[in-house]
A and B are shown apart, each in its own frame.
Chain A
Amino acid sequence: QVQLVQSGPEVKKPGASVKVSCKASGYTFTSYGITWVRQAPGQGLEWMGWISANNGYTKYAQKVQGRVTMTTDTSTSTAYMELRSLRSDDMAVYYCARVWPTGTFCPDYWGQGTLVTVSS
């Protein structure tokens, strides 16, 4: 069965960076993409971007462009999302989710989420 298992919670200071991992299993990793979605406390879902696990193509949301980098390691079927220059409004649960390789469809399977706390 398809599973996406994310790394554990993080506590960071403003200005620091965080890197969240997402290990995929149960399907051919390079046949799909991975999208990252975050959810601030009590708020809705916000799309951050996606990466093709086949060719590494990325597309980022304007709001985080320049601060975010999404990568994959096909040898371990793991996707990564790094967010730099953290601010208080970056505090959220970060989800990875599987998408079709074209990136033109909304995700189907989701990871369990990773809470990132930003606090001085």
Chain B
Amino acid sequence: QSALTQPASVSGSPGQSITISCSGTSSDLGSYDVVTWYQQHPGKAPKLLVYEVNKRPSGLSNRFSGSKSGNTASLTISGLQAEDEADYYCCSFSDSRTLVFGGGTKLTVL
């Protein structure tokens, strides 16, 4: 199965907001409201940020928010901070009853 499509990199200055997109198809992201976002710092395991499109785990900052329209999901990070610099991945369920991940987006905080 093909990976979901994410931009390779995005950047922003501290305090700004950025949005990372995740594009899929009607066979995966477009058909299931389970898109999930992860943050991964170098050498660390992925950390859950947003699940089921727009839900945040308990205790997670409300600076992270998710949305979905059609076959595209988005993660918005507001009030950028230096520690937000990391790789970000989206994930969805698919018609083939498998999980599919995005290729990852490297966020640089300028």
Contact = CB atoms under 8 A, between A and B. Distances in A.
Interface of A: 35, 37, 44-47, 50, 59, 61-62, 95, 97, 103-113
A108 B57 CA distance: 9
Nearest to B34: A105
Majority SS at the chain A contact face:
loop
B48 A108 contact: yes
Contact of A61 (B45, B93, B98): B98
Contacts of B20: none
B51 A106 contact: yes
Chain B, interface residues (CB within 8 Å), range = 20 to 34
A44 B97 contact: no
B64 interface: no
Interface of B: 1, 3, 32, 34-36, 38, 45-48, 51-52, 57, 89, 91-93, 97-104
A104 B52 CA distance: 11
Given A44-B89, A44-B103, A95-B46, A59 B3 contact: no
Of all A-B residue pairs in the complex, the 4 with the closest CB atoms, nearest first, are A106-B36, A106-B91, A44-B104, A110-B45
Contacts of B57: 108
A45 B3 CA distance: 9
Nearest to A46: B101
8 contacts: A44-B89, A47-B100, A62-B1, A95-B45, A106-B34, A106-B35, A108-B48, A110-B47
Most buried by B among A45, A46, A59, A103: A45
Contacts of B93: 104-106
A111 B36 contact: no
Nearest to A113: B45
B51 A59 contact: no
B36 A105 contact: yes
